[in-house]
Structure 1
Amino acid sequence: MTRCPVQLTRRHLLAGIGAAAVGPAAAIRAQPQNPQTLALDATPAPLLLGPDRGETAVWSLRTGGSSKTPRFRQDATIDLTLHNGLPAPLVLNWHGIDGVPSIEPLTARRPASPGETDRYSLPLRQAGTFLCDGRLLGDGLAQSSPAQALIVEERTPVEVERDEVMLIEDWRLDVEGLPIAPGASGKKVGAPLYLVNGKPSLDLTLRTNERLRLRFINACQRNAIALGIQNLDVRVLAIDSQPAEPFLARNGRLVLAPGSRIDAVIDATIPAGTTSTITLHDGGSPREIVQLHVSADKPLRPAPLPTPAPLPSENLPTRLDLKTALRVDMPLASSVGTPTSWGPPPHFSTGLTPAFRAKRGRTVVLTLTNPAATPMVFHLHGHHFRLLDRLDDGWKPFWLDTLLVDAGQTQRVAFAAEVVGPWLVETMAVEWSARRQVRWFAVE
């Protein structure tokens, strides 16, 4: 059966994020010796922002002088080195790595000054698709701050022929055609330009009944996006670096808030010689970003593989005690920085009053209210949460670390405060000129 192309509006984007949640993937394989190392260089690098533009020097995060995606095995511990070759302070902000207070930006890791190097140990206890970026201090700078994916592979590999990362970024140019950072800069910017793995579009060729794992990452600075995958079943395996009970994406649609990640598998079941398109929607004009071509070669196997088994989940509780939970009202900051309990990351200090303090092992329920006229993104550091049902009598069957809260909307989330330490929470409006805001909480 042929599906019609998905047409998504801004309203669809918001609803989808609340409900759901390319060339060959390059790998830097972890070597069997101990310790394992990962060197990240924040440095200007040339990038082609479109077919009708020349190369532009943009700020980037590179591994060993390249843009390849680092890959390691679960249970590895990495000696990580970050060298800041940019003309601004930089601190890495990790998405998806739970319970490691020593890597927490601003509370444990101070920003690296230009020319400085930061070193620390990074334990990889959970497999998944992770993201790190340098955007906590990036508002209003000369350029957009960089992002980089990191893949931690399962102990037992998932049965797929190919495993592809799709890191999607947005860029805005000023009136002179130069990239500009988000935040209240006062400069006029053009429409967003989207790149996938540093390219305007990607092409993949598959054989009939080949299985493909796609790791989608919304590394956009501010934009929520939806991806419509034409004429193919899309089965979600994980959201925000944590396994989900495998389920089919409705109408082949995936919706991601800024910073969100979704792992999915696709079987090449359309007729040989045909093409499926992955289309990006942001509430404006749709953009075709990936072509999946099924070759006329002999099928890889007579029939598609069976439904994949759930990925193993090892670091999150099966139940949350909502009856005895600490309940905290947390209105999200508006784009102009109110309420005053939120503040810009460069001014952050743990000397400020925390949003709350929780005893180790206690469940925490946050009531997130968006008082602004614009959707807001909420990101919880060091933990994953359940999105609670409206009546507070259950939760959605997946874990998240990032959530979009619509204008005037209230959402409730719950998490287990398992690791002692100070932790950040972030919020920002889904608009280019909005500033990122942070608070902190303590697990004691």
Structure 2
Amino acid sequence: MTRPPVHLTRRHLLAGIGVAAAAPATVIRAQPQHPQTLAFDATSAPLRLGPDRDETAIWSLRTDCSAIPRFRQGETLDLALHNGLPAPVVLNWYGIDGASSIEPLTARRPTSPGETDRFSLPLRQAGTFLCDTRLLGDGLAQSSPAQAMVVEERAPAEVDRDEVMLIEDWRLDPKGLPIAPGTGGQAVGAPLYLVSGKPSLDLTLRSNERLRLRIINACQRNAVALRIQNLDVRVMAIDSQPAEPFLARNGRLVLAPGSRIDAVIDATLPAGTASAVTLHDGGSPRPIAQLHVSADGPLRPAPLPTPAPLPSESLPARLDLKAALRVDVPLAASGGTPTSWGMPTHFNMGSKPAFRVKRGRTVVLTLTNPAATPMVFHLHGHHFRLLDRLDDGWKPFWLDTVLVDAGQTQRIAFAADVVGAWLIETMAVEWSAPRQVRWFAVD
């Protein structure tokens, strides 16, 4: 039976994402690669979806790295995507700004079975990034996982550990086989969650050790809330861009599908104890991770000082809202009115853009959701500010993905500063709902 969608409001989102040290932290650095290359292989691979389940074949997106790919800000990547699957695929990126040459559908055509696509990606930004091949995946024989990529700051943050927590959801058909979303109402079971490819994630820290935890909601449809118990969780970045650091209320974080949060956590619990990480999706809470504090001696006598904000280089300090282009963008049809959104598999650059804007101008989008289900909105190639209700200010962080609750309206603003043709995406927080796209032009 399909689990009802979780209703997460803007208030929940903002609430959720809303000592001296005697020894310095270890600087975490990526290992240099010569040359900087990254190969993706879309192929079939075995996966165990739980400790009591046999391995099953899934459509996978693998890299030629043994772990999460890590690079440095300022490098350039030579990328290759080989398609070993029986359906066309295209890489869909989350967090990469201004790289019009990698934009799916508008710049990069789908890669046919047996083909290899090659292109370059300049890593102008640091952050936690996500890519997948799901843009064309609704209703196919299989769904596929996502891949994280880390680009480290030029001046690395002072942390002792740097870990990725990638959360994915899977659904099974009546035969117990994984099924793709957007299946038009086909019966599926309750979601199964994997954390970095495993049923749970267990990390062991020494007392007063500092952890940078890069949390990624790679779920295909589910919005999730995480609760990290008994520890201060300081949000440092959201959606691959630095935020004004703040403590998550009660250690609670809410992430729409595709959202990423970088948090700093100091291991201040007594030695030999643990902090449980629970996932909430509208059903019963699920334990998905444990942060253990080792019984070994402390790493340092006291916790490190409050971390400084991460450097922000690529986004403007101010947005000119008075001279902004203002566009209404309904996320769903209302009262039988035809929608301008379309299926990615039917995308055509000859279709009318949602809007055109001159380079350098601010754009304000009014996102309305007349549907009875929360909707996710994702902006390609740009980050936006979430505006206050009266357009008299914005929240102290940048986003590329936002959840708009049922019957609600959100206003966002961004600087259209790179010429190109860019996608916008929307989908309901519901397994059977289709992913839909439009495009806009920056001239």
Q: Do they fold alike, i.e. is TM over 0.5? A: yes
CA contact (8 A) 2:40 2:63 kept: yes
Corresponding position: 1:333 with 2:332: yes
Aligned to 1:51: 51
Task: Name the CA distance, whole Å, in 2 between partners of 1:361 and 1:311.
Answer: 25
The amino acid that maps onto 1:59 is W
Q: Which position in structure 1 is the counterpart of 2:62?
A: 62
Q: CA-to-partner distance for each residue in 1:297-350, whole Å, 9 max, x for gaps?
A: 111111100011010111100000000000001101259996421100011111
Indicate how the Cα distance of structure 1 residues 18 and 427 shifts in structure 2: closer, same or farther if over 3 A, else same. Answer: farther
Alpha-carbon distance in 1 for matches of 2:69, 2:9: 30
Q: CA deviation at 1:14?
A: 5.4
CA displacement, residues 241-276 of structure 1 (integer Å, 9 cap, x when unaligned)? 000111100000011000000000100001111110
The amino acid across from 1:303 in the alignment is A
DSSP 3-state at the match of 2:425: strand
Q: Distance in 2 between matches of 1:337 and 1:173?
A: 32
Please state how far the C-alpha of 1:295 moved relative to its aligned partner. Answer: 1.2
Distance 1:198 1:294, change over 3 A: same
Q: Aligned partners of 2:409 and 2:54: how far apart in 1?
A: 45
Matched to 2:330, the amino acid is: P
- Paired residue for 1:16? 12
Once the two structures are TM-superposed, the CA of residue 191 in structure 1 deviates from its matched residue by 0.1
User: How far apart are residue 57 of structure 1 and its match?
Assistant: 1.0
TM superposition shift of 1:69: 1.0
Counterpart Cα distance in 2 of 1:183 and 1:294: 42
AA in 2 matched with 1:358: V
Q: Which runs of 5+ in 2 are unaligned?
A: 18-27
Structure 2 CA distance for partners of 1:347 and 1:398, relative to 1, 3 Å = same
Q: Which residue of 2 aligns with 1:4?
A: none
Q: Deviations over 1:86-106 (max 9, x none)?
A: 111100000000001000000
TM-score with structure 1 setting the length: 0.94
Distance in 1, Cα, partners of 2:217 & 2:12: 14
| Contact 1:85/1:114 (<8 A) preserved | yes
CA contact (8 A) 2:256 2:401 kept: yes
Q: What's 1:378 paired with?
A: 377
Question: How do 1:209-358 and structure 2 match up within 5 A?
Answer: 209-333=208-332, 339-358=338-357
**Structure 1 unaligned blocks of 5 or more:** 1-8, 22-26
Q: Which residue of 2 aligns with 1:163?
A: 162
- Where 1:31 maps in the other structure, the secondary structure is coil
Q: Which amino acid aligns with 1:173?
A: L
Name the aligned partner's letter for residue 46 of structure 1: P
Residue in structure 2 matched with residue 36 of structure 1 by the alignment: 36
Contact 2:15 2:248 in 1 (8 A): no
Q: Is the 8 A contact 2:184 2:433 kept in 1?
A: no
Aligned to 1:3: none
Which AA in structure 1 matches 2:439?
W
* CA distance 1:13–1:414, shift in 2 (3 Å): closer
Residues 112-145 of structure 1: CA deviation (Å, up to 9, x unaligned) = 0111100000110010000001111010001113
Q: Is the 2:222–2:256 contact (alpha carbons within 8 Å) kept by the matching residues of 1?
A: yes
Q: Report the 3-state secondary structure (helix = DSSP H, G, I; strand = E; otherwise coil) of the residue aligned with 2:13.
A: helix
Q: Percent identity?
A: 81
| Partner residue, 2:23 | none
What pairs up with 1:430-441 in 2 under 5 angstroms?
A: 430-441=429-440
Inter-CA distance 382–20: structure 2 relative to 1 (3 Å threshold): farther
CA drift at 1:187: 2.1
**Partner of 2:395: helix, strand, or coil?**
coil
**Paired AA for residue 418 in structure 1:** D
Query: Partner of 2:396: helix, strand, or coil?
Result: coil
Change over 3 Å in CA distance of 1:338–1:113 after alignment to 2: farther
User: What is residue 197 of structure 2 aligned with on the other side?
Assistant: 198
* Number of equivalences: 429
**Cα-to-partner distance string for 1:150-183 (whole Å, 9 max, x where unaligned):** 0001111111111000110000000000000000
Q: For 1:17, what is the secondary structure of its paired residue? A: helix
Q: Distance in 2 between matches of 1:106 and 1:332?
A: 20
User: 2 CA distance for matches of 1:396 and 1:229?
Assistant: 23
Q: Distance in 1 between matches of 2:29 and 2:86?
A: 27
- Partner Cα separation in structure 1 for residue 364 and residue 118 of structure 2: 34
Alpha-carbon distance in structure 2 between the residues aligned to 1:168 and 1:214 = 13
The Cα of 1:12 is off from its aligned counterpart by: 5.1
- Structure 1 residues 290 and 107, CA, compared in 2 at 3 Å: closer, same or farther? same
Q: State the TM-score, normalizing by the size of structure 2.
A: 0.94
Cα distance in 2 for partners of 1:38, 1:336 equals 47
Q: Does the residue aligned with 1:398 lie in a helix, a strand or coil?
A: strand
Question: What amino acid is aligned across from residue 246 of structure 1 in structure 2?
Answer: P
**Deviation, structure 1 residue 20:** 5.5
Cα distance 1:87–1:434, how it changes in 2: closer, same or farther (>3 A)?
same
Q: 1:434 to 1:58 in 2, by over 3 A?
A: same
Q: Name the CA distance, whole Å, in 2 between partners of 1:333 and 1:13.
A: 17
Aligned-residue CA RMSD in angstroms? 1.8
Q: Is 2:136 aligned against 1:134?
A: no
The one-letter amino acid paired with 2:94 is H
- Residue aligned with 2:101, SS: helix
Cα gap change, 1:154 to 1:336, in 2 (>3 Å):
farther
Give the secondary structure class of the aligned counterpart of 2:398: coil
What do residues 411-430 of structure 1 show as CA deviations (whole Å, max 9, x unaligned)? 10000000001100000000
